[in-house]
Amino acid sequence: MSTAHNSAEKGQFAKTVLMPGDPLRSQFIAETFLKDAVLVNNVRGIHGYTGTYEGVPVSVMASGMGTPSIGIYSHELFHFYDVDNIIRIGSAGAMSPDLKLMDVVAAQGACTNSNYVSQFRMPGTFAPIASFELLEAAVAAAREMGVRMPVGNVLSSDVFYDASNSTMDWARMGVLCAEMEAAGLYCNAAEAHKRALALLTISDSLVTGEELSSEDRQTGFTQMMRIALRVAVEMANRN
């Protein structure tokens, strides 16, 4: 039952899918953490793998960049492949001076300047939020691992190079960091009555101008990856 964007057959994705933006990060996770990982999708170079972690089936598939891209892939995973949980594991730019490079943030909520939510024809402003069940499991995993993981609001922006130079305005309301996908994922999860969470590693700072290399972004986010994998195991054990 392949789609225009996914060549996998039904049943080839696990109930929990980790979703980095970068296809090479998807490949890195599969090769580094999953046992007996099998490539189940590679349409448009969007690597999707399924294997096991601590004996639990887990999938990892890239989302590409931006809300329209993750909107397509998460919709298909939720609606066509019976996926119950999607955990975005991505990068973000710090807007809080308290965040340093390589810090991990859990997105409790996702503000956005995107028009994505308008398709659902809500008679007001919808607030995209994470699944509390996934968030609770991630916080417990981070605490057990000794990882400091701030939890709060993030900005899912449609623009990376912001001509209006207004991104930092969100910091006045306590928004921790900027990324490009969480709000779209959370909207799709809400519409499908499924669960979603975004875990983000700080790759650059809008406060200090510091940034990581592309190689660091691809292979250096292992704390975030391990937290997400522990959440996948926890969700399997609850079912």
Binding site: which residues? Answer: 5, 21, 25, 44, 88-91, 179-181, 203-204
Q: β-strand 151-156 against 85-94: which pairing, if any?
A: unpaired
Annotated binding-site residues for a purine D-ribonucleoside read 5, 179-181, 203-204
Phi, psi of 166 (to 5 degrees): -110, 0
How many CA within 13 A on the CB side of residue 10? Answer: 6
Q: Which candidate, 56, 90, 105, places its Cα nearest to that of 235?
A: 56
Annotated binding-site residues for phosphate read 21, 25, 44, 88-91
Tell me the C-alpha distance between 171 and 62, whole Å: 28
Q: Which residues are catalytic?
A: 204
Contact 76, 64 (CB under 8 A): no
Distant-in-sequence, close-in-space partners of 45: CB < 8 Å, separation ≥ 6: 23
